[in-house]
Amino acid sequence: MNSPFLFGALLILCSEVFLVLSGMVIKQLSGELPTEMIVLFRNLFGLPLFLPWLIRNGSSALKTTKLRFHLMRAGVGVTAMTCLFYSWGHLPLAQAALLKQTAPFFMPIIALIWLGERIPVTVKLAIVVGFCGVALINPPEQGVINFAVIIALLGACLGALAKVTIRRMRDTESPQRIVFYFAFFSTIFASVPASLNWLTPSFEQLLWLGVLAATSTVAQLLLSKAYGMAPAGQLAPYTYGSVAFAALFGWLFWDEILAYNSWLGIALVCSAGIVAMLGKKSGPVEAERSNG
């Protein structure tokens, strides 16, 4: 193992810590503010970060011939974000973190249907094992399936669709442009449901929302830096570190203790997810990092 790889792996793990911290902020706020408002402020507070890029590159940086794909990505992405934020607020941290990581099981299926990409046999097996793990983590209680789990899986599926959409744009669109249009259009789209569920946030809540934007942004920056150090296929398995951090923080701050079947399910999902990611060709992922 060379030093760039080790440094990249360390950055990935640091990124996952900040991702879980953002999930903790969402969990803290979810009992006080509607999820729709949290999503709105997460995107709104992220827009000023693009000012240096816009000033440096001018209006030419925004020229695009694929506006429809940007709109589609934002619509799908902000819906995925809403689902995932809901799961952070209504599930144990470790479960929410893990269900977010089921996106690699949906991506090959979506890519097969939309882009005609073949699914390797190992990835097919990983997908089956992964969903068996999900069933172990969240067995139906008295015939009733946890609604928050369904929402989390829907968010992971939509997040995978958003990432596949990026593949249709990467031939002409820079990562910065893709992420900017996502933040811009997501803010517009998120403002509609937020206005329908509006509660004026207090000063303390605004501070928490600022912390959310900061932790999410730091997570994105660290992830982007990490994938510049080593191939994505080598580093992607380390993203499952968020599950361990979430289990630890959930236990420390909310006394969340997982059952044995949940730990077995986590092991299956993490193992299958790693196999699914390693079974695909590695590609640029810098612009795919903004759905968290």
Q: Taking residues 1-29, report their average pLDDT.
A: 87
What total of structural domains would you count in the chain?
A: 1
If DSSP states are collapsed to H, E and C, what string results for 125-162?
HHHHHHHHHHHHHCCCECCECCHHHHHHHHHHHHHHHH
- List, in order, residues 6 or more apart from 11 with CB less than 8 Å away: 222, 223, 225, 226, 229
Supply the mean pLDDT for the chain: 83
Considering the entire predicted model, what is its pTM? 0.81
The residue-averaged pLDDT of 132-137 equals: 80
- pLDDT tens for residues 172-203? 777 778 888 888 999 999 999 999 999 999 99
Q: Give the 3-state secondary structure percentages of the chain, helix then strand then coil, rounded to 5.
A: 80, 0, 20
pLDDT of residue 139: 63
What mean pLDDT do residues 223-234 have? 71
User: How far, in Å, CA of 80 to CA of 199, rounded?
Assistant: 22
Which has more pLDDT, 277 or 208? 208
For residue 167, the enclosing domain spans 3-291
144 has pLDDT over 90 = no
pLDDT digits (tens, 9 = 90+) for 263-292: 888 888 888 888 877 765 544 444 444 445
Q: Residue 286 is encoded by which pair of tokens? A: 């810098």
Distance of CA 19 to the CA centre of its chain: 9
For residue 223, the model assigns a pLDDT of 77
Enumerate residues 6+ apart whose C-beta is below 8 A from 227. 8, 235, 284, 285, 286
Which of 133, 167, 168 shows the shortest CA–CA distance to 153? 133
